Structure 1
Amino acid sequence: MEIKSTQVTINASQKEVFDFLKDAQNIYHLLPQDKVTNWEADEKSCSFKVQQAATISLIQDELNEPATIKMVSGAKTPFPFSLTILINEEGEGQSSGYLHFDGKVNTFLKMMVEKPLTNLFNYMSERLKKRFEA
């Protein structure tokens, strides 16, 4: 199952956005605070529970400065997946970005998680955009 979030324009350079996101502790700022509990993080990984859902753990797998950050699911996650953050330079202190999710889920689970995950990744994209607004 693949999900791509909406692409957003960010009022920061590609490098600024990459530097912010390469610290996994900053993922917290992109999540819906009222729906996340049990947050734990260090520079390379994070783990949290989403309200009425499973615990998600993310571990940095690949950093391709300044364009992509690839994270993979950790041991606490109910199914294997990767989440890649793609950042493009747009010039004049702006960049654009989106999240790309690729998960190994069966048909039944896909019906349950596709819409909530799509909403979550779109929310995270919008929060990233807002993070760099003046």
Structure 2
Amino acid sequence: MNLESPKVKIDKSPQDVFDFLTDIKNFEKLMPENISKFEILEDDKFLFALKGMPEIILKKKDVIPPNKIVLGAAGGKLDFSLIGHIIEIKEGQSEVKLQFEGDFNPMMAMMVKGPISKFIETLATKMPESI
């Protein structure tokens, strides 16, 4: 399953956006209103839970400064990645798109597609005001 957020414009350089996203503490600022738990586990790993959903642990897997950051599932039964693509539009302005890639069976994919789409859209749309 491959889902993408809408592209958002941010009045910051790609390096500023990249620095914000590589500091995992900042993901708490991007979380939806219905977050019930957010906890930093290590420098590159955090746990979060949304009301009515199981806890999810994300770990920083790969970074390509200043254009890409990859967070992946750390533990649990589901294997997925959340990828942030950062592109410079012009000096001091960037465009960010989040991409979700997961390998789910068709039944699971049908159940999680809506909530995950809404989740990555929320993360993306909160970025311009949070960075």
Alpha-carbon deviation of 1:37?
2.1
* CA RMSD in angstroms, aligned pairs only: 1.1
Quick one: structure 1 residues 97 and 5, their matched pair in 2 at CA, closer, same or farther if it must change by over 3 Å? same
Q: Which residue of 1 is the match for residue 64 of structure 2?
A: 64
In structure 1, how many angstroms separate the alpha carbons of the residues matched to 2:112 and 2:77? 11
Unmatched runs of 5 consecutive residues or more in structure 1: none
Which amino acid in structure 1 is aligned with residue 74 of structure 2? G
Q: Which residue of 2 is the match for residue 99 of structure 1?
A: 98
**Conservation of the 8 A alpha-carbon contact between 1:7 and 1:98:** yes
- TM-score, normalising length: structure 2: 0.94
Question: SS at the partner of 1:98?
Answer: strand
Alpha-carbon deviation of 1:45?
1.1
Unmatched runs of 5 consecutive residues or more in structure 2: none
Alpha-carbon deviation of 1:39?
1.2
Question: SS at the partner of 2:6?
Answer: coil
What is the number of equivalent residue pairs in this alignment?
130
Q: Which residue of 1 is the match for residue 87 of structure 2?
A: 88
Alpha-carbon deviation of 1:131?
1.7
Q: Which residue of 1 is the match for residue 127 of structure 2?
A: 128
Which amino acid in structure 2 is aligned with residue 6 of structure 1? P
Which amino acid in structure 2 is aligned with residue 7 of structure 1? K
> What stretches of structure 1 move > 3 A for 4+ residues in a row?
none
Alpha-carbon deviation of 1:128?
0.5
Question: SS at the partner of 2:46?
Answer: strand
Q: Share of identical aligned residues, percent?
A: 28
CA deviations 1:36-66 (Å, max 9, x no partner) are 1231114311111111011111001111000
**Conservation of the 8 A alpha-carbon contact between 1:54 and 1:78:** no
In structure 2, how many angstroms separate the alpha carbons of the residues matched to 1:112 and 1:57? 19
Alpha-carbon deviation of 1:107?
0.8
Please show how residues 1-134 of structure 1 align to structure 2 within 5 Å. Answer: 1-32=1-32, 34-41=33-40, 42-75=42-75, 77-132=76-131
